[in-house]
Structure 1
Amino acid sequence: MRRVRKKEHIENYLKTSYRGDTLLGDVFISHNSLPDLNFDEIDTSTEFLGKKINNPIMINAMTGGSDFSQEINKDLATLAKELGIPMAVGSETIALEDSESEKSFRVVREIVGPEGIVIANLSGLASLEEAKKAIEIVDGDAIQLHLNMAQELVMEEGDREFKGVLNNIESIAKGIDKPLIIKEVGFGVSYEVGKKLYDSGVRYLDISGYGGTNFIEIENLRSHEVDFSELYSWGIPTAASLVQCRKLPDDMKLVASGGIRNSMDIVKSLVLGADIAAISGELLAYLVHGGYANAKDYLESNLYKMRVLMMLLGKGNIEELKKTDYKLTGKLKEII
């Protein structure tokens, strides 16, 4: 059943039509006409999970568990290796239940090699032993535990019991010897939730805000009982979630995801306080519709435009970029 559902998720993502607003457009950053900088001096490298990466982006969790998704993961892993960026695999729950599915996840580490960053993935409801197994399957540098309550509630066969998730997260954080990343799946993280996670020992948070992949719509396309379309606008926009969670202590590393589609989104996310930005749905569309070369061109062109924006801001490296002044406007200003 999970194997079929994974394929349906990919197919339904490509059918989705609703597009929410991340509110990143309400972030104003000012042009610098006189930067004391040469374009070829711009350094986009940074550190993530204790390793140096070439660019401040990562390929976020998408899929795994079938031959179809294995081919997608091969291409994504090759992109990660060539561009020197991290990659998170999709939920490994299916691999815990069916050992045949493990190969669709293991292929990622095989391609990126020991020097690359691979991130395991399970639900926040997973046990400590399951988390350890998921890390082992991909030789993970870290593990994402995803919070997908909104998706589960719309899914006909989804979970309905969520008591004890925070205690479970704390137990896993203490029980593994790798970093733990808590990840929403497209509905954003508030400051209050971020603070609870921080107090539980979490030091990496993927806010995954509203404005990107909409799992309420994806699951609604699978549902034949209840129409959930009125809930498509549910969630905390990515920019609002990011500003709120940046109020957490500095040692809480933030991943900005949820509607990150282009170079401006990446730059504004870093300016708002993200340590790295993550792309998933948009990249998947380029890959499925146009193949590997199309997906590579999409990433490379946006990384080049990111450097252009850094030049226009007069910022020579990622740490300087993160200190850029900004102003909030429109709806984002009202929310904050």
Structure 2
Amino acid sequence: MNSINSQRKDEHIENYLRTSSFTSTLLEDVYIEHNAISDICLDEVDTSINFLGRKISMPLMIDAITGGGSSSAAINEDLSSICQELSIPMACGSESIALTEKESRESFELIKDKKDLLRIGNLGFERNYKDFVFAKELIDAHAMQIHLNLAQEMVMKEGDNSYHDPLSIIEELVEKFDCPIIVKETGCGISKNVAKKLIEKNVKYIDIAGKGGTNFIEIEDLRNFDMDFSDFYTWGIPTAKSIIDIRKLSDDIFIIASGGIKTAMDIVKSIIIGADMTAMTGEVLNYLLRGGYDACENFLKEINHKMKIIMVLLGVKNIEQLKKVDYKLTGQLKELTEN
């Protein structure tokens, strides 16, 4: 598989491992207080939630990573097996390559073989209804992500800079599609104004993918030798700000907090300030590619165990109670969310 698109997929993974710019989610500006007289036992803590009509073991999914490149099949095989074992969902990477290159489809289709896996497909905002039907069927998806990657397209040397109307395709998909639609950013966050427009189109699920995690601007810049975009590396809305801003709009929207989620504390704080669940991409890929299958699986098991410890220290037994924990905002996050 040596197509330009396949090569680009592999370069994305290689360049992710080379990225060196790091920005903040601002979750460190969320203060939560220790409960010294907590009467909760570790065995009592339940981290499970319901998502897309299924019970999952903790409020975490593996978010869109890859598919279509020469290394994608092995990555997706490992991650889907881990997710199935741990009873958490998995989203595949963009399936756009599979629309035109048949040889790329195997790296996506193998996810379908995991019958107990909660599977989420993925296509970009420029695709049409027919493409989304194909992508859903390719992996027998339980939901579809529509990703908004405008900043990435602007710096990608093969980027699509033509006019598109993402709200129109989102509206059509929400109205007609036979499975839930999740609107997802790819590292620059969802603003309050954008979320308001999505809610007006009856979008029920938003995956924030805020600033602080995988930086696709840098990843694409490392592929672009004609122009330097390093001054854009800090572009975007911090994940914590996106969560707070969107939750203020509606109690009904299902918020998936992603973008720099790396620890159990990140997950807990995201839930406390308004998220319904969280998603990881880069940190999971790091463990898988640098440590192997067992290291990746053990990392996710430790995340769940550490979540339970934090919940004991807060005096809460389940995720619904966790959502009601008091918190204070400090520093830049407080300044950005005051109005």
TM-score grouping bracket, smaller chain normalisation: over 0.9
> CA offsets per residue over residues 251-277 of structure 1, 9 Å max, x none?
210000000001110100111111111
Partner SS state of residue 111, structure 2? helix
> CA offsets per residue over residues 173-216 of structure 1, 9 Å max, x none?
11211000000000011111001001112100001100000011
TM-score for the superposition, normalised by structure 1? 0.98
Q: Please state if 1:93 is matched with 2:96.
A: yes
Q: CA deviation at 1:67?
A: 3.6
Instruction: Tell me the amino acid that sits aligned with residue 98 of structure 1.
Output: E
Q: CA deviation at 1:296?
A: 1.0
Partner SS state of residue 247, structure 1? helix
The equivalent of 2:127 in structure 1 is 126
Partner SS state of residue 46, structure 2? coil
The equivalent of 1:181 in structure 2 is 182
Q: CA deviation at 1:298?
A: 1.2
Give the whole-Å Cα distance in 1 for the aligned partners of 2:84 and 2:21: 32
The equivalent of 2:10 in structure 1 is 7
The equivalent of 1:25 in structure 2 is 28
Q: Is the 8 A contact 2:66 2:92 kept in 1?
A: yes
TM-score for the superposition, normalised by structure 2? 0.97
Partner SS state of residue 246, structure 1? helix
Partner SS state of residue 123, structure 2? strand
- 1:168-247 aligned at under 5 Å gives the runs 168-247=169-248
Q: Please state if 1:48 is matched with 2:51.
A: yes
- Percent identity, please: 51
Give the whole-Å Cα distance in 1 for the aligned partners of 2:163 and 2:299: 38
Structure 1: gaps spanning 5 or more residues: none
CA RMSD in angstroms comes to 0.9
Instruction: Tell me the amino acid that sits aligned with residue 3 of structure 1.
Output: S
Q: CA deviation at 1:297?
A: 1.5
Instruction: Tell me the amino acid that sits aligned with residue 143 of structure 2.
Output: A
The count of corresponding residues between Structure 1 and Structure 2 is 334
Farther-moved stretch of structure 1 (228-237 vs 66-75): 66-75
Q: Is the 8 A contact 2:68 2:107 kept in 1?
A: yes
Q: CA deviation at 1:163?
A: 3.2
Give the whole-Å Cα distance in 1 for the aligned partners of 2:268 and 2:21: 24
Instruction: Tell me the amino acid that sits aligned with residue 218 of structure 1.
Output: I
Runs of 4+ in 1 over 3 A off after TM superposition: none
Instruction: Tell me the amino acid that sits aligned with residue 120 of structure 1.
Output: G
Farther-moved stretch of structure 1 (66-75 vs 127-136): 66-75
Q: CA deviation at 1:19?
A: 0.7
Q: CA deviation at 1:106?
A: 1.3
Q: CA deviation at 1:66?
A: 2.9
Q: Is the 8 A contact 2:126 2:164 kept in 1?
A: no
Give the whole-Å Cα distance in 1 for the aligned partners of 2:74 and 2:249: 38
The equivalent of 1:251 in structure 2 is 252
Instruction: Tell me the amino acid that sits aligned with residue 103 of structure 2.
Output: E
Partner SS state of residue 249, structure 2? coil
Q: Please state if 1:327 is matched with 2:338.
A: no
Give the whole-Å Cα distance in 2 for the aligned partners of 1:39 and 1:96: 47
Q: CA deviation at 1:109?
A: 2.2
Instruction: Tell me the amino acid that sits aligned with residue 335 of structure 1.
Output: L
Q: Is the 8 A contact 2:80 2:117 kept in 1?
A: no
- 1:297-316 aligned at under 5 Å gives the runs 297-316=298-317
Q: Please state if 1:72 is matched with 2:75.
A: yes
Q: CA deviation at 1:92?
A: 0.3
Give the whole-Å Cα distance in 1 for the aligned partners of 2:70 and 2:76: 10
Q: CA deviation at 1:285?
A: 0.9
Q: Please state if 1:261 is matched with 2:255.
A: no
Residue of structure 2 aligned with 1:36, choices 36, 39, 49: 39
Give the whole-Å Cα distance in 2 for the aligned partners of 1:207 and 1:37: 32
Instruction: Tell me the amino acid that sits aligned with residue 152 of structure 2.
Output: Q
The equivalent of 2:146 in structure 1 is 145
